[in-house]
Amino acid sequence: MDVFSPLGWRDGVLHLLDQRRLPTEERWIECRDEAAVAEAIRDMTVRGAPAIGCTAAFGVALAALRAAESGAGGPELRRRVGAAADLLAAARPTAVNLFWALAEMRRPVADDPGHAAEELAARAVGIWRDDIARCVAIGRAGAALVPDGATILTHCNAGALATGGYGTALGVVRGAVEAKKRVRVLADETRPFLQGARLTAWELHRDGIEVLLIADGAAAWMMARGEVTCVVVGADRIAMNGDVANKIGTYGVALAAHEHGLPFYVAAPLSTFDPNCAHGGLIPIEERDPDEVRRIAGIAIAPAGVGALNPAFDVTPAKLVSAIITERGVVRPPFASLRNLLTDEGS
């Protein structure tokens, strides 16, 4: 399969597929400075932890390019790069890939503005390409866990749209297909932003992979009927004990899978692991606009004046996770080896 990406970088301009408009309209927007990139992350034009990280890296590169065009070098260029990184870090709090990518972009660069801008642009491209390579490796590692004829349940969208390309959870699906295994996917709709209905179904259908959309509330019943072989989801942050933050509703899916004796797999690159987070209780959970719950596509679905809560993520305890699929292989409980994986990655 060709590796589709929701990002494009051409002539110093970042192009993003506007995921708010899918599946009805495939529209690309242009970002020419870090402010536009930060807004694209905040309003979910781009979403998914790895894709957010890649996008933020290009945001820093854009700040450096604009600084170089004005002749700023040395301390002034570093100040502007740091300010851009701070702006982007505030865009969304839960996805740790954002902070990982920004840390990479904050590493020292040349004093000469032209060379510094080129170096940071190359660094962002490297982060993007590296993410795609990691996703392909995750897909190959995870494919071994998928039996021929499997029905895979997934939640939210952890596919090409959520990454630099190829995907994590859907990378496992693609890896299984490339291994000539017959698979089909049950995609939870994933309220309130409907990433499963709008995005997962769109990209799998685009690739010719069988996908059936189900309501979030149907997942447990599909398991009870024997129509699910395993669950594969992505992650926005993974703590060192194996607790996993992912899109709201993931915890409920994990509980149902545990009750029915089904494997619950998490697919994520090592950039999603937070070495400073001992357990899931320390992961910040983003609270989004309640109107995302009260409305769908701008149409009210609740009485006027009713309150709403909109946590964007939940935390699945490590005890419910059968394995974590990384680019370095499959890690099974107990997850004491996670820190060693990160240490090896950084060495």
Tokens linked to 42 = 């905040």
Assess whether 236 carries a catalytic annotation.
Answer: yes
Q: Are 249 and 196 in contact (CB under 8 A)?
A: no
How many distinct helices (H) and strands (E) make up the chain? 12, 15
Cα–Cα distance measured from residue 202 to residue 211, given in angstroms and rounded to the nearest whole number? 9
Cα separation, 300 vs 244, in Å, equals: 32
**How far apart are the C-alpha atoms of 247 and 304, rounded to whole Å?**
27
Nearest to 109 by CA among 138, 74, 144: 74
Of 236, 243, 274, 314, which one is the catalytic site residue?
Answer: 236
Angle (CA) 169 171 173, round 5° = 80
CA angle 116, 120, 125 (to 5 degrees): 150
Catalytic residues: 236
